[in-house]
């Protein structure tokens, strides 16, 4: 089992505000405000604490929401919205967990998020 070192954890503290295109890696814990397009690299986990507020789109591998998100979310593995989590926007993920008390307003599209390298033609039907 690998252990994360302090240098592998990104923290945006409460009271902090970041705007623009923001990319995270490893494990990132957000306590502040993010506005813009948020991306998290493959294999990483983005944790939005109770004090966090995100306005903008989020693309991540795994996403845990304890705070507020206004924007569309797309993940490759899972989204967990806790009892304190609030999401206003659409979610696209293979796995969605809404805890009792969580708030979600939007549409959800579930399915395999594995990227397809080549698009195959649909089968033809001959009569």
pLDDT tens digits for range 13-48: 898 899 999 999 889 999 999 999 999 989 999 999
Mean of pLDDT over the chain: 86
| Assigned domain for 113 exists | no
Query: Residue 49 falls within a domain, yes or no?
Result: yes
- 116 assigned to some structural domain: no
Q: What is the pLDDT of residue 123?
A: 53
Any domain includes 111: no
43-75 per-residue burial string, b: 16 or more CB within 10 A, e: under 16: ebbbbbbebbbbbbbbbbbbbbbbbbbebbbbb
Flag whether 46 is in a domain.
yes
pTM to 2 decimal places: 0.80
For residue 69, pLDDT over 70 is answered with: yes
Is the confidence at residue 115, as pLDDT, over 80? no
Alpha carbons 50 and 86: distance in angstroms, whole number: 10
Nearest in space to 93 (alpha carbons), one of 79, 107, 80, 72: 79
In a domain, 117, yes or no: no
In this structure, is residue 120 part of a structural domain? no
Q: Which domain holds residue 46?
A: 6-103
Residue 112 belongs to a domain: no
Number of domains in the chain: 1
């Amino acid at each position: 089992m690998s252990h994360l070192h302090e240098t592998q954890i990104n923290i945006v503290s409460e009271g902090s505000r970041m705007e623009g295109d923001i990319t995270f890696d490893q494990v990132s814990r957000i306590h502040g405000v993010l506005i813009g397009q948020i991306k998290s690299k493959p294999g990483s986990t983005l944790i939005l604490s109770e004090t966090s507020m995100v306005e903008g789109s989020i693309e991540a591998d795994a996403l845990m929401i304890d705070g507020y998100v206004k924007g569309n979310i797309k993940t490759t593995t899972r989204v967990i919205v806790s009892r304190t989590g609030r999401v206003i926007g659409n979610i696209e993920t293979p796995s969605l967990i809404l805890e009792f008390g969580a708030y979600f307003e939007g549409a959800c599209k579930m399915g395999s998020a594995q990227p397809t390298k080549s698009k195959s033609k649909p089968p033809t039907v001959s009569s």
